[in-house]
Amino acid sequence: MYKFLHSKISLLYHTKVPATGIGLFRLFFGLVTLQEIFFLLYFNHLIFDPIPYLDIEFPMLPFFLCLWAIIAGFVTVGYRSQQSIIINYIFWILFVNFTPMQRDFDGGFDLFMIGANLLMIFMPTEKAFSIDNLKIKFQNPFKHYSSHHKQEVSILSYYLPVIICLGFLYFDSALHKMFAEHWRNGLGAWLPASIPYYVSPINMTWLLNNEVLQKTIGYLILVFQFTFIFFFHFRYLRPIFFIIGASLHLGITLTLNIYPFGIGMLIFYCLMVPFSWYRQTASYLTRKPPSLIVFYDELCPLCCRTILTINHFDIFNRIDFKSAQAHASNYPALNNTSQSTLLTDLYALDQNNTLFSGVNTYAQILIHMRYLSPIGFILKLPGIFHLASKIYRKIADSRTRISCDENCDTLIEPTNTLSLYDQIFTPESPKIARRNTHRISKIFVLLLFLQLNCSIFYGIIYRLDIDTKSTVVSTFLSQVSNTLTHYSSTFIGITPHALYLHDHFEGYNHLIAITYTDNLGKEKWLPFVTSEGRLASPNWGRVHSMWANIAVTPKIDNWRLSKFIMKTTAFWGIKTELDLNTTIFNIKLKKISAPSYWVHDLLKSNLSGEWTTIGNATWNNKTIDINIPKNINFL
């Protein structure tokens, strides 16, 4: 078995493919992390304060969240990629495991992001769509951009993250789903989308009321998750798995209010796009021939770096750069312009042979790059144009030039700093390559063992209700399994994926909301749960998890419910400028249904139920008095 695995890894190790998908994956991973940090900043007091705004335990937390946002920004643009990704990984571990996020505000995708972040440390994330790639070009500024080869990477840098983060997750999740009745009935996608707490503002009733389609989707998910890890890498099956998987996660993003989970999973499909699609898309988007030709001084270091920078961000290949010394004589439109004049400014010709110079050249460059065209038009506005011209003239007249007879590439020594990916996948000799493939194989076997530990113990033994404490040996093995799961979850993200199963929805027959009575005696809804029972924007993601998965469950724990009533009324009460000491908060309950069999128009029925006031909450300084029935489950 190991020999077969090693032979496959060795084959893939030497197979080279474009780095495009890796770069896009890093970019979108950084953006997802950034949006989550902004979410944490907005709900900082709700999530981290013992009593929101009234008892602040971590006053420096916004500062560290801002530091994390800077690091996530570096990851997004690919600046010092490997160092930024390592620091980002540390931030994920610290915030998820050492703050209330772990216990009360699980985002549903935190461990997934930790695992993905760990693997990114060993991926060639700097080789596409990154500032680091531009810095590498700067090491040889006199080398024309067309001479820089497109980056290619080992196909293992695509396959291993997909197998570990998607394949393991899907198979484990499918095992758990087989024990849930509504999943066996093909209603696994339908039931969560019919519970008001879980649905997004988009009206999906037309889709939910199609029983055949919903059951088809439900069974398709099961087949997809069981087979993904075994077949996704086949050339002709890859597009099918890509379309199905991307559609399912896009559906989660649009249908449910746990959009971070949907988007976090969706970004992994950057690694699933067939490589030919990337090549065809690039061919379609790039324009041939270029629509603007720019002439630059090839002996000016500043000019060379400028054209490298512009070309780096010219994703549609609309601009071509040519040496004024070598190519200007080939264009009749420049015959009246001496070479000495050409070297004092940046000149450009468009397809109509219109000549531009100075700031006008930069404006045309931005306009022809398409996605930066608004900046180009702004640059041409009176006042802005004259100010930019003064700055440009000052820089252009003070720039330095060099003399270079033969080979300017040797003027700057390139750095030899190698990323972890380069150290592993660009060996100096075949012997080192064989050693590296053996190491990769052994690490993969270890990760597979950790996933099997989770899947077998929690997905089979636990689900079959097998007694693991009947003997000393079984008790010891159970403790070892729990310990391994704890560490694999914390640092690698390998964990049981028992999401939205029968033990989550069975008996989920009530919703709880909070209203308040204003100074005129009128009852209003706190901006948290709406009158329909939906979680109001922006109370989605991990705030939704706090209320819908922890506070309100099939068997409500009054202590936990009271805790989150306290946090919610304090946070939204103060945020909406209510006087807590004079405001009466009403605790409302509504009956719903969460069956494991098909019911037409279930979502509409659950949204239209009547609310009953079952208690109230009042504040006195920093103390809250909550009056609710001792056993809400029987109301």
Domain that holds residue 517: 507-634
The DSSP secondary structure of 201-251, one letter per residue, reads SS--HHHHT-HHHHHHHHHHHHHHHHHHHHHTTSTTTHHHHHHHHHHHHHH
Question: Sorting pLDDT into bands at 50, 70 and 90, what band is 634?
Answer: low
| Residue at which a domain ends, from 153, 177, 196 | 153
- Predicted confidence (pLDDT) per residue in 222-239, tens digit: 999 999 999 999 999 999
Tokens of 121: 């440390």
- Predicted confidence (pLDDT) per residue in 488-531, tens digit: 999 999 999 888 887 889 889 999 999 998 877 889 999 999 99
Domain membership of residue 186 (yes or no) is: no
- Predicted confidence (pLDDT) per residue in 339-360, tens digit: 777 778 888 999 888 989 889 9
What whole-number distance in Å separates Cα of residue 556 and Cα of residue 518? 29
What angle, rounded to 10 degrees, do the helices at 20-42 and 61-77 form? 160
Tokens of 492: 């690698």
Domain membership of residue 333 (yes or no) is: yes
Q: Which of 365, 366, 202 is nearest to 292 (CA)?
A: 365
φ, ψ for residue 189 (rounded to 5)?
-85, -30
| Residue at which a domain ends, from 115, 133, 153 | 153
What whole-number distance in Å separates Cα of residue 535 and Cα of residue 528? 6
Q: What is the 3-state secondary structure (H, E, C) of 372-417?
A: CHHHHHHHCCCCHHHHHHHHHHHHHHHCCCCCCCCCHHHHCCCCCC
Domain membership of residue 475 (yes or no) is: no
Angle at 52 between CA 625 and CA 554, to 5 degrees: 65
Sole residue written with tokens 């005129």: 520
pLDDT for position 148: 60
More confident residue, 288 or 14: 14
Domain membership of residue 195 (yes or no) is: no
What whole-number distance in Å separates Cα of residue 612 and Cα of residue 588? 5
- Predicted confidence (pLDDT) per residue in 135-156, tens digit: 888 877 777 666 566 788 999 9
The answer on 21 and 141 residing in a single domain is yes
Q: How many helices (H) and strands (E) does the chain have?
A: 28, 11
Per the CB < 8 A criterion, the answer to whether 357 and 363 are in contact is no
Residue 206 burial by Cβ neighbours in a 10 Å radius (0-12, 13-18, 19+): exposed
- Domain containing residue 371: CATH number: 3.40.30
Estimate to the nearest angstrom the gap between the alpha carbon of 588 and the chain centroid.
36
Count, residues in the chain: 635
Give the chain's domain count: 3
Q: Which of 106, 107, 447 is nearest to 260 (CA)?
A: 107
Its sign, for the CA torsion 250, 255, 257, 261, is negative
pLDDT for position 95: 94
- Whether residue 630 has pLDDT greater than 80: yes
Residue 473 burial by Cβ neighbours in a 10 Å radius (0-12, 13-18, 19+): exposed
- Predicted confidence (pLDDT) per residue in 527-576, tens digit: 999 999 999 999 999 999 999 999 999 989 999 999 999 999 999 999 99
What angle, rounded to 10 degrees, do the helices at 20-42 and 110-120 form? 140
Average of per-residue pLDDT values in the chain: 90
Domain membership of residue 410 (yes or no) is: no
- The CB density around residue 345, as the number of other CB atoms within 10 Å, is 21
What whole-number distance in Å separates Cα of residue 509 and Cα of residue 502? 13
Question: Sorting pLDDT into bands at 50, 70 and 90, what band is 415?
Answer: low
Domain membership of residue 80 (yes or no) is: yes
pLDDT for position 74: 97
Q: What is the SS3 assignment for 199?
A: strand
- Whether residue 412 has pLDDT greater than 60: no
The DSSP secondary structure of 47-116, one letter per residue, reads HH-SBTTTB-S-TTHHHHHHHHHHHHHHHHHTSSHHHHHHHHHHHHHHHHHSSTTTTT---SSHHHHHHH
Of all residues in the chain, the percent with pLDDT exceeding 70 is 96
- Whether residue 410 has pLDDT greater than 50: no
- The CB density around residue 487, as the number of other CB atoms within 10 Å, is 11
Residue 130 identity: S
pLDDT for position 448: 95
The answer on 514 and 398 residing in a single domain is no
Per the CB < 8 A criterion, the answer to whether 267 and 193 are in contact is no
Domain membership of residue 371 (yes or no) is: yes
Domain membership of residue 429 (yes or no) is: no
| Residue at which a domain ends, from 129, 153, 177 | 153
- Predicted confidence (pLDDT) per residue in 180-228, tens digit: 999 999 999 999 999 999 999 998 999 999 999 999 999 999 999 999 9
